Amino acid sequence: MSEVIRLTTPLTEEDVASLKAGDQVSLTGVLYTARDAAHKRLVALLDEGKELPFDAKGAVIYYVGPSPAKPGAVVGSAGPTTSYRMDAYSERMMEVGMKGMIGKGKRAGDVVDAMVKHKAVYFAAIGGAAALIARSIKKVDVIAYEDLGPEAVRRMEVEDFKVVVINDTNGADLYEQGQERYRKE
């Protein structure tokens, strides 16, 4: 495995341009959480010309709906959800400056093209390793859509949050590359 690349959010265009599919990345800083229900509302705000509840410039959005925090805990278990449900909204978020997405599973071709066009990347965290991932989350605040419960938009402060680059700004796809390497006829 390649050496881990350490990045701090918000991400710059240079940060993302240097990343290649397959790179192991450790993120520190702030992530914003949103699943499909929240994305629908965020994109509606943009369509109405209104402000988002967070600064999208350089933002990394984590597709997650955590389980409830136990007393004294910052967050419950918090692994990635499947990303294709956000495909319909992702280019709109890139247009306003979002630079990174964290989820699991393959993205649609037009989302991969949009990442090349708007210089953004798609990361995967380990799906189902939710209790382990929660350890790198240090502070959580609900900042919008509390009525959505687990699907509310949260501001998450993270340290050494481990991800791998799936799609880079050149249109490469780790899922395709990885399968190609290990396929047997």
Q: Strand pairing partners for 140?
A: 156
Stretch that binds other proteins, among 46-54, 93-101, 109-117, 123-131 (CB under 8 A): 123-131
Q: Indicate whether 108 belongs to the interface with other proteins (CB under 8 A).
A: no
> Is residue 177 close enough to count as binding other proteins by CB under 8 A?
yes
Residue 82 structure tokens: 């499947």
Residues 53-72 as x/- pattern, contact with other proteins by CB under 8 A: -----------xxxxxxx--
Q: How near is the Cβ of 120 to other proteins at its closest, in Å?
A: 19
Active site residue 118: no
Tell me the angle at which helices 109-118 and 87-95 cross, rounded to the nearest 10 degrees. Answer: 10
The count of chain residues that interact with other proteins, using the rule CB under 8 A, is 45
Cα distance between residue 136 and residue 21, in whole Å: 23
Which of 27, 34, 37, 39 is flagged as catalytic? 39
Query: Which spans in the chain are helix H?
Result: 13-17, 36-47, 87-95, 109-118, 130-133, 174-182
By CB under 8 A, residue 3 contacts other proteins: no
Binding of residue 29 to other proteins (CB under 8 A) = no
Which residues, other chains included, contact 107 with Cβ-Cβ below 8 Å and sequence gap of 6+? Answer: 83, 84, 87, 90, 122, 166, 167
Please return the burial class of 82, using the count of CB atoms within 10 Å of its CB with bins 0-12, 13-18 and 19+: middle
Counting contacts by CB under 8 A, is residue 150 touching other proteins? yes
Q: At what angle do helices 87-95 and 36-47 cross, to 10 degrees?
A: 40
Structure tokens at 111: 């989302």
Residues numbered 76 to 105 that lie near other proteins (CB under 8 A) are 76-79, 81-82, 84, 104-105
Among 11, 94, 124, 158, binds other proteins (CB under 8 A): 124
Q: Which residues are at the interface with other proteins (CB under 8 A)?
A: 1, 37, 64-70, 73, 76-79, 81-82, 84, 104-106, 124, 126-132, 134-135, 148-150, 164, 174-175, 177-185
Residues with a known catalytic role:
39
